Amino acid sequence: MGLLTIGTFAKASRLSPKALRLYDELGLLAPARVDPATGYRLYAPEQLDQARLVAWLRRLGMPLARIQRVCALEPSAAVPEIRRYWAEVEADTAARRDLASFLVDRLSRKDPAMSANTHSLAIRYAALSDTGLVRESNQDTAYAGSRLFAVADGFGRAGATAGAAAVEALKPLETRGFAAGDLLNVLEEAVEEAKSAVNGVAGTGSPSAESGTTLTAMLWTGSQLALVHIGDSRVHLLREGELFQITHDHTMVQSMVDDGRITPEEALSHPQRALLLRALGHGADGTPDLRLHDARPGDRYLVCSDGLSAVVDIGEVRRVLTEVADPDHAVRELVGLANGFGGPDNVSCVVADVVEAHS
């Protein structure tokens, strides 16, 4: 059989010609030949297997950049990558299910008052922030309390003050009483207070006005962890030996990765990798991601600034979270790893373990 026209190949692979042209531009599925006179794309029949794999992975909802990585692997290596992706999808679906259940309960008016007491689960935690080996000052803020865990990564001349102000604005949540059905509203109100606090310390009409901060925090309710996330600090969940990133970076390079314009590897060295799409500060988009997670005994959460995530390989992070049982020792080892790789940035970590409460 000779080469197939793009129309014939599209029909056989169940991919549209438009999709095939996009995949060619991205280097995901290049045609076997391009007619020099007409510019028509021609495909070889043996490319159908890869095209069908791409179609199937797209049906799974896998981003194009990740499909590109999977297609470059040998089948034996592609299988665990697909399993890992699907585990992440299921974790995300579970989080959405928790949110749906929460909203159903709220609309059904099943909203018992929240309390910091009498829960079957408890939490152990530790926080640590370090200047690193290159920066002159620490603009990070890391906090862990009985119900609140937070990391803020400040930037600009007043970055340290901005980050600290954002976290301080959330601290009253540790002692406030509120109904479970009001949780999301309470978090949104707290973010608005954090925005006001950051704008107050950043100032206006001066270089300080370009200051701001990220804010990533989790509020422990006794059976759930509610997440608020703005910026590029991250939350990871270690559950049953698998490590999941449960936040999505609000950065220019992450949007480029999502669109398939660059690979995750290229993002690491991209000149705009520090450009935030969301943050707290004057003129910034401070829209938060809000999510709920049902807690399970044995869960371990890591909240960290990009001084860890951009410096230390995720495999090393997983090793520490898996092997180092004590949260205090874990945050110290994670910070030590970042500094061991040159400590180019401030680094902050919070590790929180969900455990059975002692009666």
Spatial distance between the Cα atoms of 258 and 253, rounded to a whole number of angstroms: 9
3-state secondary structure (DSSP) of residue 100: helix
Q: Rounded to 5 degrees, what are φ and ψ at 152? A: -125, 135
- Say what percent of the chain tops pLDDT 90: 48
Q: Is the pLDDT of residue 118 over 50?
A: no
Band of pLDDT at residue 103, cut at 50, 70 and 90: low
**Inter-residue contact 352 to 300 (CB < 8 Å):** yes
Spatial distance between the Cα atoms of 183 and 115, rounded to a whole number of angstroms: 12
pLDDT score recorded for residue 99: 64
Q: How many CB atoms lie within 10 A of CB 195?
A: 22
Both tokens of residue 2? 């000779």
Amino acid at 329: H
**Inter-residue contact 293 to 140 (CB < 8 Å):** no
pLDDT score recorded for residue 14: 84
pLDDT score recorded for residue 329: 98
Q: Is the pLDDT of residue 359 over 60?
A: no
Ranges 49-63, 118-132, 179-193: which has the least confidence: 179-193
pLDDT score recorded for residue 104: 65
pLDDT score recorded for residue 110: 47
Both tokens of residue 219? 């509020």
Q: Rounded to 5 degrees, what are φ and ψ at 21? A: -65, -40
Band of pLDDT at residue 108, cut at 50, 70 and 90: low
Spatial distance between the Cα atoms of 339 and 133, rounded to a whole number of angstroms: 7
pLDDT digits (tens, 9 = 90+) for 2-21: 899 999 998 888 888 988 98
CB burial of 99-110 (b: ≥16 within 10 Å; e: otherwise) equals: beebeeebeeee
Q: For residue 356, which of 174, 117, 123 has the smallest C-alpha distance?
A: 123
Q: What is the mean pLDDT of the chain?
A: 87
pLDDT digits (tens, 9 = 90+) for 236-279: 999 999 999 999 999 988 888 877 777 777 887 787 777 899 99
Q: Is the pLDDT of residue 54 over 80?
A: yes
Average pLDDT over residues 300-314: 96
Q: Which has more pLDDT, 206 or 178?
A: 178
pLDDT score recorded for residue 180: 63
- Say what percent of the chain tops pLDDT 70: 89
pLDDT digits (tens, 9 = 90+) for 221-233: 888 888 999 999 9
Q: Rounded to 5 degrees, what are φ and ψ at 120? A: -80, -15
Q: Rounded to 5 degrees, what are φ and ψ at 290? A: -120, 130
Spatial distance between the Cα atoms of 227 and 289, rounded to a whole number of angstroms: 8
Q: Is the pLDDT of residue 175 over 80?
A: yes
pLDDT score recorded for residue 258: 76
For the chain, the distance separating the N- and C-terminal CA atoms, rounded to the nearest angstrom, is 74
List strand residue ranges (DSSP E) for the chain, in order: 4-5, 33-34, 41-43, 121-130, 140-144, 148-155, 212-213, 215-220, 224-230, 234-239, 242-245, 280-281, 289-294, 300-304, 347-356
Q: Is the pLDDT of residue 117 over 80?
A: no
Average pLDDT over residues 98-115: 55
pLDDT score recorded for residue 111: 45
pLDDT score recorded for residue 166: 97
pLDDT score recorded for residue 55: 87
Q: Is the pLDDT of residue 65 over 70?
A: yes
Band of pLDDT at residue 106, cut at 50, 70 and 90: low
